[in-house]
Every structure is written in C-alpha cells, then in structure tokens.
Amino acid sequence: MWGGENLLYSASQDRTIKVWNVDVGNMVTELKGHAHWVNTLALSTDYVLRTGCYDHKSKQFPEVDPEERLVSMKKYAQERYDKAKDIKGEILVSGSDDLTMFMWQPKKQSKPITRLTGH
C-alpha cells in the first residue's frame, strides 16, 4: 500500500509490516505486534489518495484555461488529503488472523497506537 507521505507498506506472513521510503528505496522501519500473518492494511488517507479532487460534492473546476483548471484540481486534492491526514501523519491499520487489528503512525513511531481485539 502506497501512502501520501512517500511511504510504501508491505504486510507479510512473518507477522510484520515493513515501511519503505520510496524516494531512496530502503526500509525505514519494521512494525511488529501481530501473533499471526498480517493479511490486510488500510490507510487513513487511502480514499482521498484514490479519488484525488473528485468527491461526492461534484465540485466544478474552471473550464477557461486547462492549466488553471489543473492547478485548481491539484490544490483541491491537496486540501482533501490534508484534512484526511492526522496532524502527526497518516494512520495505518493492520489486520491479522490473530483476530486483532493494530493502529500505527509509522512516520512517528514503530510502536502501535492501540490494539483492537475481538474482530
């Protein structure tokens, strides 16, 4: 999963999540906590990263100049991303066969924010 902070996340059967810096191409940190395979990842900014400037409001952008339209679309997409992102960075949720989910802030720390059980 690729986040908006130029970090790439990979989940594994070895019970870890690896965080990669896409600019340099190296591993930044390894997130550990699950007792079984990590099967799923979700990012707090995933929806706005996928949809960009298009949302349920059907915002209209100026049609006059293609360059001006593109600038306006990029600005609106950035505003949506900034709203979705926590002040401390993107929040990652991981799910595992151990029936737990963990919340992480990988850019800030390698320890989970919280552990969610009973899922």
Name which of 70, 39, 72, 50 is nearest 4 in CA terms: 50
pTM: 0.76
Helices (H), the chain: 46-51, 66-84
Name which of 33, 45, 39, 48 is nearest 89 in CA terms: 45
Residues 9 and 32 placed together within one structural domain of the fold: yes
pLDDT at 111: 94
Residues 31 and 60 placed together within one structural domain of the fold: no
Q: What is the mean pLDDT of each run of 10 residues along the chain (119 residues)?
A: 81 94 92 94 86 81 83 88 79 92 91 88
Residue ranges making up the domain that contains 62: 46-84
CA distance 44 to 82: 11
pLDDT at 1: 66
pLDDT at 11: 94
CA distance 72 to 113: 36
Residues 40 and 96 placed together within one structural domain of the fold: yes
pLDDT at 94: 96
